[in-house]
Amino acid sequence: MQTSYDLVIQAEPGAPFDPAPVEAAIRERGGSSRGDGALVWRFAVGDVVTLPLREAGAVTGVELKIPFSDRLELLNAVVPAAVELARTLNLRVVDPQLARTVLDPDVGAVSDEFLRIARYAGQYYGIGDALPMAAVGPAEEGMSPAVKGLLALLVFAVAAAAAYQYFSPD
């Protein structure tokens, strides 16, 4: 199960992609090597892991992995920073979940999708960091099984008493 919301910095379709300028720009903006080939891009409100995106053996982009949370501060910091970084390198930021290029005004759409996927991760996969309140699940509607059983017993007792009254000799 996905534990982060991913954005991708990549070239226009059909254009070659070199990850070195993107990685250098991330280092200039507070990124540091993690030791396993990943970079950690540090923001005041949290960290984003960046990894090369490989497709058919070739690097086609750099993934930005934003961890799920019930707060949007990190996402709201990453999207404009990534769009600005991509713009300076003549690249683009793609949101695979929305299947489109992301620009500054798209922060709201990205936030909505982030929260939708985070809720899903919290509810159905028990990822506590996703949305803790969603992990509890929705409240059940209707009566509890104990109340249903008590009502059934009460109906049976009333029916038995009525039958006894009707069939008993005068």
The beta strand positions in the chain, using DSSP E, are: 4-10, 31-33, 39-43, 46-55, 58-67, 92-95, 100-102
What average pLDDT does range 27-42 have in this prediction?
91
- 157 in any annotated domain: no
| For residue 169, pLDDT beyond 70 | yes
| For residue 12, pLDDT beyond 90 | yes
Find all residues with CB under 8 Å of 107, minimum gap 6, and list them.
Answer: 75, 76, 79, 80
Instruction: Tell me which DSSP letter residue 168 carries.
Output: S
DSSP bridge pairs for 100: 95
Lowest mean pLDDT among 33-37, 58-62, 129-133: 129-133
Find all residues with CB under 8 Å of 48, minimum gap 6, and list them.
Answer: 40, 41, 64, 65, 66, 67, 74, 78
- 164 in any annotated domain: no
| For residue 94, pLDDT beyond 80 | yes
User: Which residue do the tokens 């209707």 mark?
Assistant: 142
- 158 in any annotated domain: no
Contact 50, 62 (CB under 8 A): yes
Query: pLDDT digit string (tens) for 135-157?
Result: 444 445 677 888 888 888 899 88
- 21 in any annotated domain: yes
- 85 in any annotated domain: yes
Contact 65, 6 (CB under 8 A): yes
Chain CA centroid to CA 44, Å: 21
| For residue 126, pLDDT beyond 80 | no
**Which CATH number is 76's domain given?**
3.30.1400.10
Range of the domain at 10: 4-136
Find the length of the chain: 170
Contact 31, 45 (CB under 8 A): no
Contact 65, 53 (CB under 8 A): no
**Who has greater pLDDT, 122 or 101?**
101
Number of domains in the chain: 1
- What single-letter amino acid sits at 154? L
User: Residue 14 to residues 7, 10, 11, 60, 169: CA-CA distances in angstroms?
Assistant: 19, 11, 8, 10, 95
DSSP bridge pairs for 32: 40
